[in-house]
Amino acid sequence: MERLDKFLCDSGAGTRSQVKTLLKTGRVTVDGLAERDGSRKIHPEGQEVALDGEILGGKRRLVVMLNKPRGYVTATEDEAQKTVMELLPKQWAHLDLKPVGRLDKETEGLLLFTNDGELLHRLISPKKEVPKIYYARHEGQAGSEDAAAFAAGLTLRDGTVCRPAELTPLGPGESLIRVCEGKYHQVRRMMASRGMTVTYLERRQEGSLTLGSLPRGQSRELTAAELAALERG
């Protein structure tokens, strides 16, 4: 961490006296909010400092977790439907966040966003095999034969071949499903192939990340420990 006024001087914003004036007149922002206290300690690599709207020291890297509710499409824009971008705080709007993968409109739960293109591509790459755990309510009852079929790798009705997955029955009409890929409507289609129509679906975990107590419709930044674990895979 370092003092904001020192960072501004080192970034070429001006001399110490000039920086003091810049701060006093509200021309400096930290993470989108005006900051007048030069003694404030900041993380130069983890926070965005701007002068008159121009970012100093490069764009802030951000990775965010959202607890997605039903009724929102995973897209950066859509003329006809509400998008997940509308759920993020406006203070992040200028950081060019993009969804990491997708959840369909009627699926709830954990969805990541980042403006780090390299990280995004690593996380969605089929070679990465990031495990994802879903909770499903469905028609019918999952049994040991269904679990064995998931473990062997299902072939869906359209010929799509799925990698081995885990199906854990929880009780009448409830199951946990663990997959390591992200084909279109995959969990719903896998369950349907075994005669079980999914009526509710929630992603609860991605890699080592879990929703915890994050309320539905709310978002937060990942902690340094969570980000390190995510990058380790």
Give the integer Cα–Cα distance in Å for 59 and 50: 9
Q: Is 104 a catalytic residue?
A: yes
Q: Are 4 and 49 in contact (CB under 8 A)?
A: yes
Helix (H, G, I), strand (E, B) or coil at 173: coil
Return the bridge partners of 167, or none: 177
Is the distance from CB of 190 to CB of 154 less than 8 angstroms? yes
3-state helix, strand, coil in the chain (%, to 5): 25, 30, 45
Burial class (CB in 10 A: 0-12, 13-18, 19+), 102: middle
Q: Give per-residue burial for 132-160: e unless 16+ CB within 10 Å, then b.
A: bbbbbebeeebeeebbebbeeebeeeeee
Strands 108-114 and 198-206: parallel
- HSE-CB at 225 with a 13 A cutoff on CA atoms is 2
How far is the C-alpha of 179 from the C-alpha of 162, rounded, in Å? 9
The full length of the chain comes to 233
Identity at 182, one-letter amino acid code: G
Question: Which among 37, 96, 104, 158 is annotated as catalytic?
Answer: 104
Catalytic residue IDs: 104
